[in-house]
Amino acid sequence: MLLTTILFSPQGNSSEKEIFLTSTEYPPYYGQKLKNNGFITEVIRAAFEKEGYKVKVEFYPWLRCKKMAENGESDGMYTLWHTEEREKWFVFSNPIPPQNAIGFYKRTDREITFEAYQDLKPYIIGSVLGYAYPPEFMMAELKDSVFYTDEKLITKLVQGRIDLAIIDRLQGAYLLKTKFLTKNNQFEFMEPPLEMRQQYLVISKKSKRAQKIINDFNRGLEKVINNGFYDEITGGHGF
């Protein structure tokens, strides 16, 4: 770990073309055990490599990733949803496709409908600590149960400990299929999504080269998307 700090911390004597990023488990987008750490990780690496960077990625719990980036212990992290509050700490890249479709998963045998968040007052809704959910949802003062990971969130939904789980549609489907295959068809995503959210790479404002890193990454990302490499990467992951 000391070696990592010396080589990759923005506070150390790291090369201008070496980047230390942190991330967390957010399958199927990215994760330590996924092929090439997930297709988003592969896209990010490719974008940086187009501009001559070497990238090191380490995986930690989400809140630790965020704190490390805020404190300048890493150059940055991926991915985050944009909020004005987070602009205090980070420089945001251009959006990295695809968008996240955020909404509720429920049991197929539960007749749950709503026109306004207040209609959900009778239900217990599970969420993940630290995520930037739609402001209207955050202010609705619903009965909630907060977990540290998306996997734990889906587990509690399957166990019947919560009525609804707010989660990205693709991630919820992936977790149900891989962790609870025999019960997968007992749950469904409530269409339409509550919100479509862009996801971003962020670089810590503690780094003096934050804007340059982002500019270089944006250039590399544009090349990856425009030359067809993005489609090649996502196709290689089954998307």
pLDDT(46) > 80: yes
Q: Which ranges in 78-226 belong to alpha helices (H)?
A: 135-138, 150-159, 169-179, 210-226
DSSP letter at 144 equals E
82-104 pLDDT per residue, tens: 999 999 999 999 999 999 999 99
Residue with tokens 């930690």: 60
146-181 pLDDT per residue, tens: 999 999 999 999 999 999 999 999 999 999 999 999
Averaged pLDDT, 109-126: 96
pLDDT value at position 86?
96
Averaged pLDDT, 209-221: 97
**Is residue 151 within 8 Å of residue 175, measured between CB atoms?**
yes
Cα separation of the two ends of the chain = 35
Distance CA 218, CA 213 (A): 9
Distance CA 230, CA 139 (A): 37
Averaged pLDDT, 111-125: 96
Q: Which domains does the chain have, with CATH numbers?
A: 2-98+198-236 (3.40.190.10), 100-195 (3.40.190.10)
10-44 pLDDT per residue, tens: 443 346 799 999 999 999 999 999 999 999 999 99
Q: Tell me the whole-structure pTM to 2 decimals.
A: 0.87
Distance CA 126, CA 124 (A): 7
pLDDT value at position 168?
97
**Is residue 148 within 8 Å of residue 131, measured between CB atoms?**
no
220-238 pLDDT per residue, tens: 999 999 999 999 999 999 9
pLDDT(1) > 60: no
Beta strand residue intervals within the chain, DSSP E: 18-23, 54-59, 76-80, 90-92, 96-107, 124-128, 143-147, 164-168, 187-189, 195-204
pLDDT category at 239 given cuts 50, 70, 90 is: confident
pLDDT value at position 6?
36
Listed in sequence order, the residues at least 6 apart from 81 whose beta carbon sits closer than 8 Å to its beta carbon are 100, 131, 132, 197, 198, 199, 200
Residue 33, CA atoms < 13 Å, CB-side half-sphere: 3
Averaged pLDDT, 133-156: 94
